[in-house]
Amino acid sequence: MSLDPRDALRLALAPNSIAVIGASDNPNKIGGRPLAYLSRFGFKGVVYPINPTRTEVQGMHCFPDLASLPEVPDVVVVAVAGEQAIAAVDECGLAGVAVCIVMSSGFGESDPQGKARELAMAARARSRGMRIVGPNSQGLANFGNGAVPSFSTMFTEVMPADGPVGIISQSGAMSVIPYGLLRARGVGVRHSHATGNDCDVTVCELAIVVAEDPGLKLLLLYLEGIPDPWHLAEAARVARVRNLPIVALKSGRSAAGQEAAQSHTGALANEDRTVDAFFAEHGIWRAQSMVDLVDTAQLYLQGWKPRGRRLVAISNSGAVCVLTADAASAADMPLEPLSDATQGELRAILPGFATTTNPVDITAALLSNSGLFGAILPPIAKDPAADAFLIGIAVAGAGYDVEAFASDAAAFATATGKPVVVAAPQLSVSDRFKKHGMAVYPTEGEAVQALGQYLSHHELQLEATHRQPAVPTRPRAVGPACMLDEAASLALLAGRDITAVRHRLCGSEAEARAAFTALGGTPVVVKGCTGEVSHKSELGLVRVALRDIDAVGQAYGDMTEAARAAGITLTGVIVARMVRGQRELMIGARLDPVFGPVVLVGDGGKYVEAMPDVQVLLAPFDTPQVEQALRRLRIAPLLDGVRGEPALDVEAFCRMAAAVGALMVDDAAGITQLDINPVIVGARGAGCVAVDAVVYQEITLPNPPPKES
């Protein structure tokens, strides 16, 4: 019987036997490369070329078909085209093959017909207990055991070396470009898998299994779409247990990029800031570019246990010191002065015009005395001001003892155990430091940026490990929804501990007048209540700061008139207390089709769309997470009060946001979207109230909305 689906993936990475349907004698063809690679890279299992037109392929016995093989192979590579490919996959499924790697293209990436063929093929495979990688896959590559059923050109161009890095990508190119760039930097790569159209096995699911590899110290992902965040969260969980960092490059950040992704892998667009929040939640670092993805890699392989972000810089160039200070500032890495004792020791070693605070500028005096570098390292090593170091060797060569610099620096790094990055623009210099195992960058800017990212990711991993985020389930399918009017929206929220401003829904001018009195005769806001439009002020359906009963009566009449003019049906007119607070914030929420309930918190008021200042939270979350999010807003300085203003009641707002999160995860409530704007937040202790709200609720079959009479 068929394997556990996850075990099948484990087998795909370490099969006992691999067959290639469409085997070619030409090692540069799609059907030829996998065979060439399996023998070249030392695969220990059995390989079965299959091609009915040949008896021998690349020196191996060739079989006419799957049925002729002496056994059912664990993995079958399908390298034939079109209908033949589909027939081959079906045959594999019937024969009991565990995993089919479909390299053939012309499926979902081509057109809707191709997509339909792909889905049907995947469904048949699933019913037969077979996993599919692809179609349109470049193949898998595990250099740890030579299982390289892949047709990538890269492995003939850049020689592999087994190492502690794994790469998984939907795109073939992006599975091997980081491989190539890392190999060029001397880093070994074990896994380089390209999953193609992900009709069954996705990048995220494969990542779960790859993350189990105890030989890995870094896992890199390239994604164009994330259709299954639950798999990625599971992979992150597996990785966290082993302190395996995951860095992901998720493209399609921009509208143009999403459009291009749609024609490339047919990836569905994910909302970019939700992706950001998801990665952060699960401790995954999001790289911004390919350079980003590979530039920090070497730092993860050093085995450091960073304790903080305070940087100490050492260079023979004052300008490198200045540029390092700028870069460190941009990367939020403070430069604290070395202790008086350390500075005293340094002054005894360095000439008078050198700088001993931090950065430490040895100056060009190093040209006259190469020993200065090695001499200052021991005092610096024991200084408490450093969590990490940058060593900048701006210029060296004839007249300098570069080998001593490199070996002294390496000894220093070992002695401190703290992160050390080297900036050296000259190849002759950087090569020496690399030979001593150090992390070297051409410029201080690149070195500091990479170090900053590495440290930030480390913090993110610690937070995630501490928080132990739940692995989300696949969100339920959401039915059609309708917009509730303001009064109904506020009432629904009030039932969930989301306090609304005091208000009354009035059906007549007399009721409106009575409401004004009942609310205490203080200034009120009068609003038309309707479930037909969400932006009311543009239509004359909002009047603020009404101070007397006649104005309220007048507003009632004006509003019914304005609604009639705009062709809108009012369910009544709301008379609400006008509340003063310290700041208008907002809370929004929606059900993302793949990420589930997403809550937005941010600055509120009229300009939330024109000048957005919001942060994303993935529900469920707790109040400290809301506060963390608020502290990332542009308006964060206002939370604690500025210019003599009191601090905001952040605690009350956080509770309200958490209540919204709880509402959104409650499937029974059937809320698909809501916007509470503004939430008027008072001074600390004064609480906050929802002043306007729009809620969209699912039209569920048990309780259909009342029919119009």
List the interface residues with a copy of itself, window 152-191 (CB under 8 A). Answer: 152-154, 156-158, 169-174, 176-177, 180-181, 184
CB of 607 to a copy of itself, least distance (A): 7
| Chain-centre distance for alpha carbon 51 | 43
Applying CB under 8 A, does 359 fall inside the site for a copy of itself? yes
Chosen residue from 221, 328, 591, 599 binding a copy of itself by CB under 8 A: 328
CB of 176 to a copy of itself, least distance (A): 6
List the interface residues with a copy of itself, window 193-222 (CB under 8 A). Answer: 222
Q: Alpha helices of 350-392 — where are they, by DSSP H?
A: 365-368, 371-381
Backbone angles phi, psi at 102, to 5 degrees: -100, 105
CB of 542 to a copy of itself, least distance (A): 11
CB of 504 to a copy of itself, least distance (A): 26
Asked if residue 97 lies in contact with residue 78, where contact means CB atoms within 8 angstroms, the answer is no
Applying CB under 8 A, does 312 fall inside the site for a copy of itself? no
Place of tokens 């590579």: 77
Chosen residue from 168, 226, 235, 320 binding a copy of itself by CB under 8 A: 320
CB of 5 to a copy of itself, least distance (A): 27
Token pair of 479 as six digits: 């039915």
Applying CB under 8 A, does 534 fall inside the site for a copy of itself? no
Chosen residue from 55, 68, 243, 289 binding a copy of itself by CB under 8 A: 289
Applying CB under 8 A, does 30 fall inside the site for a copy of itself? yes
Rg (CA), the chain: 32
| Chain-centre distance for alpha carbon 130 | 30
Q: Which of 4, 111 has the CB closer to a copy of itself?
A: 111
CB of 390 to a copy of itself, least distance (A): 12
Half-sphere exposure of 427 (CA within 13 A, CB side): 1
Token pair of 346 as six digits: 């340094």
Q: Which stretch binds a copy of itself (CB under 8 A): 115-123, 289-297, 456-464, 650-658?
A: 289-297
Specify which residues 696 forms β-bridges with: 483, 673
Grouping H, G, I as helix, E, B as strand and the rest as coil, residue 77 is strand
Asked if residue 196 lies in contact with residue 136, where contact means CB atoms within 8 angstroms, the answer is yes
Chosen residue from 5, 96, 378, 445 binding a copy of itself by CB under 8 A: 445
List the interface residues with a copy of itself, window 133-152 (CB under 8 A). Answer: 138, 152
Q: Which of 66, 299 has the CB closer to a copy of itself?
A: 299
Enumerate residues 6+ apart whose C-beta is below 8 A from 690: 490, 493, 498, 499, 500, 501, 656, 676, 679
Return the number of other C-beta atoms located less than 10 Å from residue 494's C-beta: 13
Chosen residue from 17, 192, 363, 623 binding a copy of itself by CB under 8 A: 363
| Chain-centre distance for alpha carbon 584 | 30
Applying CB under 8 A, does 353 fall inside the site for a copy of itself? yes
CB of 188 to a copy of itself, least distance (A): 18
List the interface residues with a copy of itself, window 624-653 (CB under 8 A). Answer: 634-635, 637-638, 642-644
Instruction: Give the count of residues interacting with a copy of itself (CB under 8 A).
Output: 105
Residue type, 374: G
Q: Which of 598, 608 has the CB closer to a copy of itself?
A: 608
Q: Which of 386, 506 has the CB closer to a copy of itself?
A: 386
CB of 579 to a copy of itself, least distance (A): 17
- Pairwise CA distance, residues 547 & 102, whole Å: 73
Long-range contact set of residues 460-468: C-beta below 8 Å, sequence gap at least 24 = 460/280, 460/283, 460/284, 460/285, 461/240, 461/243, 461/245, 461/283, 463/283, 464/236, 464/240, 464/281, 464/282, 464/283, 465/240, 465/283
Chosen residue from 361, 383, 485, 584 binding a copy of itself by CB under 8 A: 361
Q: Which of 171, 625 has the CB closer to a copy of itself?
A: 171
Q: Alpha helices of 476-548 — where are they, by DSSP H?
A: 486-494, 509-518
CB of 567 to a copy of itself, least distance (A): 17
List the interface residues with a copy of itself, window 583-612 (CB under 8 A). Answer: 606-607, 609-611
Asked if residue 191 lies in contact with residue 150, where contact means CB atoms within 8 angstroms, the answer is no
CB of 591 to a copy of itself, least distance (A): 26
Q: Angle, to 10 degrees, between the axis of helix 229-241 and the axis of helix 203-210?
A: 10
Grouping H, G, I as helix, E, B as strand and the rest as coil, residue 505 is strand
Chosen residue from 72, 119, 269, 291 binding a copy of itself by CB under 8 A: 291
Enumerate residues 6+ apart whose C-beta is below 8 A from 255: none
Applying CB under 8 A, does 563 fall inside the site for a copy of itself? no
Half-sphere exposure of 239 (CA within 13 A, CB side): 33
DSSP letter for 283, please.
T
Map residues 422-441 to x or -, x wherever contact with a copy of itself holds by CB under 8 A.
---xxxx-------------
Applying CB under 8 A, does 224 fall inside the site for a copy of itself? yes
Applying CB under 8 A, does 542 fall inside the site for a copy of itself? no
Applying CB under 8 A, does 530 fall inside the site for a copy of itself? no
List the interface residues with a copy of itself, window 364-383 (CB under 8 A). Answer: 364, 367
Chosen residue from 52, 397, 495, 624 binding a copy of itself by CB under 8 A: 397
List the interface residues with a copy of itself, window 95-114 (CB under 8 A). Answer: 105-106, 109-111, 114
Backbone angles phi, psi at 63, to 5 degrees: -100, 150
| Chain-centre distance for alpha carbon 689 | 33
